[in-house]
A = this chain, B = another copy of it.
Amino acid sequence: MARPKLTTSPNRRHQILEQAAGLFKTNGFNATTMRQLAEQTGMEAASLYNHISSKEELLREICFSVANDFNAHLLQLEADDSCSSRKMEAIIRFHIHMLLTKYNDVYVSNRDWKHLKEPWLTNFLNQRKQYENRLAAIIQQGIDAGKFKPVHPHVAVLTILSAVRSIEYWQRSKKAISSKQIADDLVMMLLKGLEQ
């Protein structure tokens, strides 16, 4: 009667997920084959299906893991009573932190979410839209308080989120400039502007 086994099974699955994130990042979701992934994890392609149910499931776990992290952080920040400026700085720094610590996952989630299947695709997009709306609300509060320039809040949100993604380019050659320097420059530029 099916006793639980407690072998290395959960580790193995986690290991597959990590390798998948690396391959997805490097080659893209579509261009990554199950045979490549199998080779990296030291087994045959068919054997992967003892641990996962489909290729898309791997992508799904990556995307929603990242989405959950961002949602959790924002939820915690919204409860805070600091001013809009500090909140926006915290958000920018958290995005940078996520890109630095979970580079593969965030990169794949940013680029390959289109390959999610329904109903998860719709769910993912709804979560993202909600996230952007909540950021826009924070910016609107800053504008109302006279702390931010009267730009359209949604434009500001997308500008900031796009700008933060420039970190993706630095992750590869992060020797030349320190992560802290990049993060500080980014926060400065986005909040105070490039001009003196």
B151 touches A188 (CB 8 A): yes
A158 to B186, CA, bound (A): 10
- The yes or no answer to A94 lying at the interface (CB within 8 A) is no
- The yes or no answer to A181 lying at the interface (CB within 8 A) is yes
Cβ–Cβ < 8 Å partners of A190 in chain B: 159, 189, 193-194
Cβ–Cβ < 8 Å partners of A192 in chain B: 149, 193, 195
- The yes or no answer to A162 lying at the interface (CB within 8 A) is yes
A189 touches B152 (CB 8 A): no
Cβ–Cβ < 8 Å partners of A188 in chain B: 149, 151
Looking at chain A, what size class is its interface with the partner chain?
35 or more
Q: Which of B88, B152, B195 contacts A149 (CB 8 A)?
A: B195
- The yes or no answer to A1 lying at the interface (CB within 8 A) is no
Cβ–Cβ < 8 Å partners of A195 in chain B: 85, 147-149, 191-192
CB distance from A162 to the nearest CB of B (A): 4
- The yes or no answer to A166 lying at the interface (CB within 8 A) is yes
Which residues from chain A sit less than 8 Å from chain B, CB to CB? Answer: 28, 30-31, 85, 88, 114, 139, 142, 146-149, 151-152, 154-156, 158-166, 169-170, 177, 181-182, 185-186, 188-196
